[in-house]
Amino acid sequence: MPEPTTILLFAGAALALLVVPGPSVIYIVTRGIHQGRAAAIVSVVGVTTATLVHTVLAAAGLSAILASSAVAFSIVKYAGSAYLVFLALRTWLDRSAEQLDVPRPAANLRRVFLEGLLVNLLNPKTALFILALLPQFVEPARGAAGPQILLLGGILASLGLLSDGTYAFASGSIGSWLRNRRSIAGVQRRVSAAIYAALGIGTALLGERR
């Protein structure tokens, strides 16, 4: 396993990268504002689970296929983009929060988890990020690369859980304040849908393989 100093160095580098808001953070914050703190936190769990899956794939060497194959990269990229656009359309069409005579339906947390999982799992940039970052801290003299990558990936996921969880709590509080004002529910819904769509289109247009 890597030396303690290497692990600390990796943790510091990973945390510095995680605190900068990226697509996953934007997705989580949008969830929190639109559906509340519980949905945001469950989204964090889904996104983090996908990070662990990407780590296992990197340890097994499967992420290298994604990095080397333009076809595989494009398939994953466009699938993720299409899914985000689907979420945008569903959010745009969902007017239940604007009906003043019925209670606001609670978020389906199981579905929220699966959506967070898929959004990050179908993000090829996450796979390439893990494939590029983790091996730099692997020490061949300290043992096989696979177990070291799994350890580093676990640290990355744990730090991501804390960092993204902070954004989830904050966005959930903002969302609760906004949801108590039904007059802006329509604006909130349309803005959330627009953000999902922008993430999806941005993934398709800007997610070229490096």
- What pLDDT tens digit does each residue of the chain (210 aa) get? 778 888 888 898 888 888 777 888 889 988 888 888 899 999 999 999 999 999 999 888 877 776 677 777 788 778 878 878 888 888 778 766 555 444 455 678 899 999 999 989 988 888 888 888 888 888 877 778 888 889 999 999 999 999 999 999 888 777 666 655 555 556 666 777 887 788 778 767 765 544
Dihedral Cα 72, 73, 77, 79, nearest 10 deg: 10
DSSP SS3 for 124: helix
CA separation (Å) from 199 to 26, 75, 205? 9, 17, 10
Contact 91, 34 (CB under 8 A): yes
The whole-angstrom separation of Cα 15 and Cα 130 is 14
Give 96's contacts (C-beta < 8 A, 6+ positions apart).
102, 104, 105
